[in-house]
Structure 1
Amino acid sequence: MKKILLICAVIIGFASIAKAQDDQKPEFKFNEEKHDFGKIPQGTPVTTVFEFTNIGKEPLILADVRPTCGCTIADYTKVPVKSGDKGLIKITYNAAAAYPFNKTIVVTSNAKTPQKFLVIVGEVVAKTAPAPATGTTTGTSN
């Protein structure tokens, strides 16, 4: 019986230590995790910035920020973000084709939640062709 109690105490001790270490880990708090561009003109790239704060105790390190398609480019804070400090993830979408879009960006880090998913949505609308000139030209000269 004493052995069982001792084993239980050891397991509870390890669980407490693991929880305490988890509480120290960095963690994201984003201003938004989904950005809606609305309607954007075809051929005009658009950019948004996802701002985050490290609400954990240890520095937050972004290992990778990877868009799920080639039409999206990501740039991000490359230095460790200290506790309470802010970082940025800048996303640029190339609005080449006219259609609605819904794109995911995968953020990998050393946070409690090691993978975070950011989303951009919107609709690319085709540029309208310029209207043909109307009017007649009269110009006969003798």
Structure 2
Amino acid sequence: MVVKQKNSLFLPMFALLLMIWGCNAAQKQEKAESEGGEETEAFGGNPEFEALEHNFGKLSYGEEVGARFGYKNNGEGLLMIERVVTGCGCTVAEYSEKPLQPGETGFVEVIFDSRGKRGSQFQEARVFFRGHKTPVRLSIFAEVGKN
């Protein structure tokens, strides 16, 4: 009798798991189709940055500085930043979040905190645009002195 109860619970649980898995797979497929279709085609913009690197020169230990990298959408479609990835916790980025029409301008500001750093510093921010496979690399340089 104990065996019968275990089997009677197993089948409904297994069916429930299959239903959940099937719904989740269907949602993922719908999302992939919507992202790969017309929406991606609308994002055919082309970013053109004014500069790709900035040298802060000599900084005092503990100083926090930022460099603003401006860019223009020189493409035919919309241009939008999906995300910006920085090299370490000492560097963060703020950026234009709205989609840019052709001819409009945006920015990426890379902020560097020199606390815990000494000597020559090189940090990078990778800017990922929707519809582009490779990121744009923005670089900052600094020479952090002693306090």
- TM-score, structure 2 as length reference: 0.67
The aligned counterpart of 1:36 is 55
What runs of 5+ residues in structure 2 fail to find an aligned partner?
Answer: 1-40
Matched to 2:145, the amino acid is V
Q: Deviations over 1:95-141 (max 9, x none)?
A: 112221111101111255641111111111112xxxxxxxxxxxxxx
CA distance in 1, matches of 2:139, 2:48: 15
Q: Deviations over 1:15-70 (max 9, x none)?
A: xxxxxxx9x82111111001111111111101110000000011101000111111
The aligned counterpart of 2:81 is 62
Aligned length: 106
The aligned counterpart of 1:51 is 70
Query: Identity, % of aligned pairs?
Result: 25
- TM-score, structure 1 as length reference: 0.69
Q: Decide whether aligned partners of structure 1 residues 112 and 73 sit closer, same or farther in structure 2, where only a CA change above 3 A counts.
A: closer
CA distance in 2, matches of 1:92, 1:34: 13
Q: Are the aligned partners of 1:35 and 1:119 in contact in 2 as well (CA < 8 Å)?
A: yes
CA distance in 2, matches of 1:39, 1:113: 35
The aligned counterpart of 1:109 is 129
SS at the partner of 2:79?
Answer: coil
The aligned counterpart of 2:141 is 121
Q: Is residue 26 from structure 1 mapped to residue 26 from structure 2 by the alignment?
A: no
CA distance in 2, matches of 1:106, 1:45: 20
Supply the RMSD in Å over aligned alpha carbons: 1.9
Q: Is residue 76 from structure 1 mapped to residue 95 from structure 2 by the alignment?
A: yes
Matched to 1:85, the amino acid is E
Matched to 1:39, the amino acid is K
Matched to 1:49, the amino acid is R
Larger Rg: 1
Q: Is residue 85 from structure 1 mapped to residue 104 from structure 2 by the alignment?
A: yes
Q: Are the aligned partners of 1:45 and 1:93 in contact in 2 as well (CA < 8 Å)?
A: yes
Runs of 4+ in 1 over 3 A off after TM superposition: 111-114
